[in-house]
Structures are given as structure tokens and as C-alpha cells.
A and B are shown apart, each in its own frame.
Chain A
Amino acid sequence: MPDEIRVLVIDDEAPIRRAVSNALVADGLSVSEAGTAREGLDLAAAERPALIILDLGLPDGSGINVCRDLRGWCRVPIIVLSARHSDSEKVALLDAGADAYVTKPFSASALQARVRAQLRRAAAAPADGGRGEIEINGLRLDLARRSVGRGAREIHLTPTEWDLLRELVRHAGRTLTHRQLFAAVWPHSGGDAQAYLRVHISNLRGKIEVDPVRPHLVLTEPGVGYRFRSLD
């Protein structure tokens, strides 16, 4: 890992670029700025940043297309800035490969937290953290041996609950859309995806959370999907 961690900010509004840059520089990061999708893609290829912050409403091409384009050749974490009200847009851009989104207006500290989490996740990815034994919020988890417990107590999960938990933990810290989760757990079936996913998540929470009404591990991203708490 190089000493300098570079973040690319693609946004057509100069004041927003400035605000974002200031927050990132304050956190010890280096920043490159692009005002258009074209410029952003060129800089991404030339500088290979550690993370990209992308505005959804760019003048010369929608952020979603930029996302797809980037995902064609690199795995860099992408955080999308969005002022849009629509959940379907968020879902579309997560499906297009974005890792997280921040809704405008956001505070500098919220943005910094998101950026740190994504950088940590990316740094941990090569080792594929999630394979070994994990302890989080009092829950012991060993994905290889398919065992989960709290304290001395073993927790029994159904095969579907296991598949869901494994998928969530493998992408801990990243929001998975309902569609992505459903495709991972039931690759070959139709049926009412939404209803079954909800029921299995409810059951899973009932087994692994301390208080299922106040979940600490399997978090809901309203209207978008689910996210497993970052492993750190």
C-alpha cells in the first residue's frame, strides 16, 4: 500500500467538489477532482485512485453509466453522491457496481466515515476477510466450518439462512440490493423474491441478533437492501 492514498472526486458542481475535497484532505487523503464524466474516467485510468466519489447527476453522462464503465475494468470502491429521492436510482447504481451512496446534503463527518469504511473494506479484500473466524458484537462466526454461536451457545441456522449470512458477511460493510442477495441465494428460481427474502432475514435476525427489533449485525438500507456491519 503506498503512503499516499488518492481519492478521485467526480462532480460538476465546484462548491461540492471543494467541500468534499476539504473533508477528505482533513482526513489525510490526497484528492484529484474531475468536473465531467469523461475527465473522471480519464483520471481514473491515469491515476488509479484508491476510491472514487461520484455524483449521480453529471452533465455529460449519468453517474450510472460511469459506474458501469469503471466496473468494466477495475474494482475500486465507488461512493455515489445523490440528491435524488428515488430508491430505484440507488438500487440501479448499486446493481451497476457502486459500493455505497451518500444522500445530499451530507455532513463532512458522515462522508469521512463512509470513505474510511470503504477504504478499510478494500484493504481487507485481498485477504478475503470473512473466511476465518470472526467475532462481532458477541457473535462467533466461522464461515468455513459453518458454525455460529453466541457465548457458549451454538446457534442452528437453516441452509438458506446460512447462504444469506455467508453472502452478507463476505460483503460486510457493503450494501447488497434485494436483487443481488436473492440471486446469490436462489440462483435458479422465480417466486416472490421480496417476500421470501424478508422472511429469511427476519428469521436470521431472530437467531443471531441480541434484540431483533434493534439489529446490530444485519442492517436494513431502507428501500434498497441489506448490509452486514463492517468487520472491525
Chain B
Amino acid sequence: MATDSGRSTEAGAERRRLTADFALAIGLLALVTVGLVALRARLDKAHVALAYLLLVLVASAWRGRAVGLTLAVLSFVCFNFFLIPPYHTLAVADPLDWLALVVYLITSLVAAQLLYRAKREAAARAQLLAEAERARALREADRQKDALLASVSHDLRTPLTTITALANELRLAGDDRAATIELEAARLNLLVTDLLELSRLNGGVLQLQLEANAADDLLGSALERLAGAPRIGDVDARLEQAEPLLGRFDFTHSLRALVNLIENALKYSPPGQRVEVVAGRWGNRLVFTVSDRGPGIPPEDAAHVFDPFFRSAGRTPDVTGTGLGLTIARRLAEAQGGALRYQPRAGGGSVFSLELPALDLPPSPES
């Protein structure tokens, strides 16, 4: 309600302003015309044309194009009616006076129009400058956000480093409690890493290094990263094709996503069951599928499996994870133009597929 009446008040004010502008312009025109008529015996047509032109320019510059163009037409009529013989008629005795009148009309219309355009371009330039300034300010804000996250990361990790190192020393000296300190410090580090990563994703300041990478390199690095993990021997990893498969993706972020999927699969896979990891190319995508024989995700929960802190009702509470792993993994995949999908596995279990943009081999550097 308030906004509606506000809008109509605004429109009314605008109408009143325009009316006042036109009244003022017509008043000025009358004033100038009276002056010119008083002096018309001593004036040449050029003096009259210049005086009116000046009036049109002043009015356009001051009150805009509509007023300027109106004044150009009205002054043309006044010029003819009061200042070209025979006076007080619209008839013109000398054909050359027609020429003067028409030239005046064209000149004043064009002048009003040009002035308007020049003003509009100046305004556009000012707006462009303002936008560039805004973009620069946004970039600066991003940079500051990133610097802040880096400094928070440093501030949180430095004490964790000290705690971990000293706990390690204590454990080697024979204090069993130190093992718990180490374990908890490692968990805290995971949580710090995940929270910082999520803030980076949310803040739009995630740095992506999109470059050519090989599928086997990513798969090998993921297995290497998990070398000490429990039951890593239960993983069957293979490449679908023998020739190298290339993609354009950020290696570190993709590695994180893939490691997370394999870790999850191992966590939920029943003892004695294998986890299958396969890398292949499908159309313009590199696809890494991680399949387990775990409990799978109930259909009603499948839509929420990538939500932060989501826990499926049927699953035992997981004390080792942060609850952010799958959320981050999917966001990382999407940030690179890829995807992360879930589907139930035929015969029971889950299949998570990490998709990344594939790359065809560019021309050889040897040639």
C-alpha cells in the first residue's frame, strides 16, 4: 500500500515538474519574443535566429530534450508570426525568408538533439566508470576474503601443528594418552579443512587450476593418498581403456572428491566385500565410478545425500567424518564443469560417479 501510494506521488511530482518546465520555457520564449518585436525595425533575421537558437540551447541543456525540441518548434512559429513580414500572419512575402525559417528550424532541432545525445553519452560513460569501480571493489572484496581465509587457515593450523608434534613426541616417550591427542588433533584438522573449503566455495573465492590431467594419475594419487587407510586392500581399481585418458580439471580438488568417495565406500562396505573403482571416458566426460556393496541409500533419502551434515536414518552415526565430505565433493566437481551423481547399485549398494570434462590431445609439442 505504502509503496503504491509512494509510486503515484512520485509520478505526480514528475508530471508537475514537466508542466513547470514547459511553462517556464514558454514564458522565456514570450519574453525574448517581446524584446525582439520591440527592436524588430533595427534587427536582421540572423540576429533573431541567433537569439532564438541561444534560447533553445539553454532550455535543452537545462531542462532536457522534450523542452528543447518544443521550444525549437514554438520559436520557429514565433519567428514567422512576429518577425517575418508580413507581420502577425503565417504567410511569408519573400521566398528567401522561407529558406531562413527552414534553416533555423532544422538548426535548432538538430542542436537540441545533439546536446541531448552528448549529455546522454557523458552519463553512460559515468555509469560505465561507476560499474568498473564497482567490479574493482568486488574483486578487492574477494581478494580480502581469500586473504582472510588464508590467514584463518594459518592461525588454526599453526597450533594444531604444535599439538600434533608434541603429542607425537609424548607418545614416543611412552605416554599412551598422547595417541588420543594426536587422533583428536587430526580430526580437528579435518574439520578445519572442510569448514574452510566450504567457506571458500560459498564465498566464491575457490581458486581453480583447470589444466590437462590424466585419469590414471588421479586414480593413482587417490589410492596413494589412502595407502594407510584401513581395508584399502579391498579396493579393485582399474582403467577402462589402455591408452591415456585426459581431462581438463583441477587436480587437487578432484583428488579430494575422489578420495572422499573411496573412503565412504570403504566405510560402508561390509567386511569381505570389494569396492570397485573404475575410470573411463563417456562422450565428453571422464567418469570415475566408485561402487560398494554397502546398505545403499533409502530412496526417500537419495535426494538429500549431498546436503551438508545429512545422515541417512538407517545408517549408524559416523564419528570419523565431518558430514561435509559429499557436499564439498559435489560442489568441487560442479565448480570445474563436472558433476557428482548417486545411483543405487544393481544387487545392492551404492554407485557414486564423479564426472569431469574430458580433453582431446592437442597438437604435439614436438611438431
Contact = CB atoms under 8 A, between A and B. Distances in A.
Given A16-B161, A104-B160, A186-B365, A198 B168 contact: no
Contacts of A219: 224
Given A195-B212, A213-B219, A222-B255, A83 B158 contact: yes
B165 A201 contact: no
Nearest to A192: B362
Given A105-B157, A223-B251, A202 B211 contact: no
A84 interface: yes
B165 A195 contact: no
B239 A189 contact: no
Given A195-B212, A199-B214, A108 B168 contact: yes
Interface residues of B, number: 52
Given A26-B169, A104-B160, A186-B366, A198 B150 contact: no
Interface string A182-216: 00001001111111101101110110000011110
B221 A23 contact: no
A111 B162 CA distance: 13
A30 B225 CA distance: 32
Interface string B94-134: 00000000000000000000000000000000000000000
Point out which of B150, B189, B217, B251 has the most chain A C-beta atoms below 10 A from its C-beta: B217
A195 B246 contact: yes
A62 interface: no
A222 B223 CA distance: 12
B211 A105 contact: no
B207 interface: yes
A192 B365 contact: yes
B203 to A, nearest CB: 13
Contacts of B211: 194
A202 B244 CA distance: 6
Contact of B172 (A26, A111, A213, A215): A26
B5 interface: no
A223 B252 contact: yes
Nearest to A15: B162
A105 to B, nearest CB: 4
Contact of B365 (A26, A104, A193): A193
Interface string B157-191: 11111111110110010000000001001000100
A190 B225 CA distance: 32
Interface residues on A, range: 35 or more
A106 B165 contact: yes
Given A20-B165, A88-B209, A202 B217 contact: yes
Nearest to A21: B165
Interface in B196-237: 196, 207, 209, 211-214, 216-217, 219-221, 223-225, 237
B221 to A, nearest CB: 5
Nearest to B165: A19
A109 B162 CA distance: 13
Given A83-B157, A85-B150, A202-B216, A107 B244 contact: no
B365 A83 contact: no
Contact of B223 (A87, A191, A205, A213): A213
Contacts, number: 148
B252 A87 contact: yes
A220 to B, nearest CB: 5
A19 B238 CA distance: 41
Interface string A88-113: 10000000000000001111110100
Contacts of B361: 195-196, 199
Interface string A125-155: 0000000000000000000000000000000
Given A85-B150, A104-B160, A105-B185, A220 B220 contact: yes
B209 A223 contact: yes
Contacts of A85: 150, 153, 196
Contacts of A223: 209, 250-252, 255
A65 interface: no
A16 B255 CA distance: 29
B272 interface: no
Contacts of A189: 365-366
A217 B249 CA distance: 24
B165 A196 contact: no
Contacts of B366: 160, 186, 189, 191
A86 B157 contact: no
B239 A19 contact: no
A57 interface: yes
Interface in B38-79: none
Contacts of B157: 83, 104-105
B154 interface: yes
A42 interface: no
Given A190-B365, A191-B363, A213 B164 contact: no
B365 A196 contact: yes
A13 interface: yes
B26 interface: no
Given A16-B158, A105-B163, 6 more contacts: A19-B166, A84-B154, A189-B366, A214-B224, A215-B220, A219-B224
24 contacts: A13-B158, A13-B162, A15-B159, A16-B162, A18-B162, A19-B165, A22-B169, A84-B150, A87-B209, A88-B209, A191-B363, A192-B212, A192-B363, A195-B361, A196-B364, A198-B213, A206-B242, A212-B220, A214-B223, A215-B220, A220-B221, A222-B255, A223-B251, A223-B255
